[in-house]
Structure 1
C-alpha cells in the first residue's frame, strides 16, 4: 500500500484500466464462472445457459426475444446503478493532475461516464449504443428506448429495438463472443484519442481495477501502458499478480483499496 501511495504522489497523469470487478462494489453482479452468473440470473440456471452462451450474436438472429431479454435486462440494470464512491475518488485525483485522467475499460455498462469521466475508451463497446443486426449501415446510435423483459422467463416482450434505417432488428454495439459483425468505429475513435493522449502524458501512473485473466484485454493494456516505467497498481482480490514484478499488486477489492489510497 505504501508503494502504491508513493506512485500516486509522483503521478503527472492517471490512466484507469477497469474490468468487471470495478462494478461489484456498486452492486453489479459478478459473472465470474457459471455459478456466479446463475446466482444473478436464476432463469438461466434452469435453462443451463452460461454467460458465454448468451453473449453470442447468433441469438439475435435465431431467438431475438432470448437475446434482448438478456441485454435488455442488463441495460435497465446499468441505468439504475449508482457508481460507488471509488469512481469519485479517482475522478478527483485525475482532476488535480496536470496531465489529467483517461479510462480504458472492457466494461460496457457506462458507469464511468455516469460518474463524470469525460474520456473513456470502451474496448468492447457499450450497451448504451446500438447497431443494425442486418448490417444495412455502419451507423451507431444511442439506445434511447426501453426493453420490457419478462423476468420469469428472461425473454423480451415485443416490440424489440429496430434499426431506424431499414426497420430490421437492432443489437447492442458490443463485441460479443465469436462476433464478426460488431461495428468498432465508436470504440476505435475512443482508443485513438487515448493513444494520442498517452504519447503526451508525463509521469503516467496506471491503476488497474477488477480485471481478471479470463478475458485479459484490460490486463494486457495496463501492462503495455506501464511497460516503460513499471508504474502499475493492480487491484484485484483474486488475481493480483503482475508478470515480472513490474508494478504493485494489491489483493483486495476496488472500493476498499481506493478509500485507503486516496484522500477523500
Structure 2
C-alpha cells in the first residue's frame, strides 16, 4: 500500500497554544536568534540559553495535542500502508496525540545532550548551567535541540522515506528553512503526489501539486477523512 510521509512545522502546534518562531510577543521575540539558538550563543552565555529552553519546556508542558495531531495519529493507525511523521517541532504533541515513531529532525525539548560525549537522556524540567552528563560526568549538558548552523537529525532516514513515498504532505511549515524546504522536491523526484496544508499559502506553495488553506485543526482531519475513505 502507498507510503505517506508527512512533514510538520510550528503551525500544527500553534492552535495548541505554542507560540511559533515568527509570532510577536512570544519567547523568540524577546531574544536574538544568535543568542539563544546557536552553539556560539551557548558558549557566550550558557545561563541565558538554559533559561530560554527551561521557559520553553515549561510552556510546552502546559499545552495539549489538538485535532490535527490526533488526526495524524489516526491516519497512522488506520492507513493500510506506512505513515511516517517527520517534525521540525521540538514539542512532544504528536506523541501525546497518539502518534508513534515520530522523527524529530530538530531534536526534543524533553531531552538533554552531552556536548562532550554525545550521550542523550531525559531532560529535567529545569536544566542548570554545568549540568553533569550521567555517562561521562562532564558539566557540558545542553538542550538536545538542533541550533542554527547544526545539521538536523536523521537526515539519511528521512531521505530514504522520501524516496519511497507515494504521498508527501507538508503541514504548518513555512517552507523557508533548508533542508526541510527541499523535501517536496525530493518527494516529487520519487514520483510522490505532494500537498501543502497551511493557514495561508507559503512562498513555495506553487511547487506542490495541491494545497489546502485553513486552520490545521479543520483541514488536517478533513484530509485524513478523505484518505481513509479511499481504503473502505
Q: Would you call these one fold, judging by a TM-score over 0.5?
A: yes
Q: Does 1:28 align with 2:18?
A: yes
Tell me which of 202, 212, 220 is aligned to 1:250: 212
Name the counterpart of 2:125: 146
| DSSP 3-state at the match of 1:28 | coil
User: Higher mean Cα deviation, 245-254 or 100-109?
Assistant: 245-254
| DSSP 3-state at the match of 1:76 | helix
Gaps of 5+ in 1: 1-10, 149-157
- Would you say the 8 A contact 1:29–1:40 is kept in 2? yes
How far 1:122 sits from its partner (Å)?
A: 1.7
Q: Does 1:66 align with 2:28?
A: no
Tell me which of 188, 191, 194 is aligned to 1:226: 188
- Would you say the 8 A contact 1:26–1:83 is kept in 2? yes
CA distance in 1, matches of 2:129, 2:113: 17
- Would you say the 8 A contact 2:46–2:129 is kept in 1? no
- Would you say the 8 A contact 2:184–2:194 is kept in 1? yes
- Would you say the 8 A contact 1:91–1:101 is kept in 2? no
Aligned length: 225
TM-score, structure 2 normalization: 0.82
| DSSP 3-state at the match of 1:222 | helix
| DSSP 3-state at the match of 2:189 | coil
How far 1:67 sits from its partner (Å)?
A: 0.8
TM-score, structure 1 normalization: 0.73
Say if 1:196 and 1:41 are closer, same or farther in 2 by CA, change over 3 A: closer
Say if 1:215 and 1:196 are closer, same or farther in 2 by CA, change over 3 A: closer
Q: Does 1:40 align with 2:56?
A: no
Structure with the larger helix share? 1
How far 1:262 sits from its partner (Å)?
A: 3.2
CA distance in 2, matches of 1:159, 1:246: 44
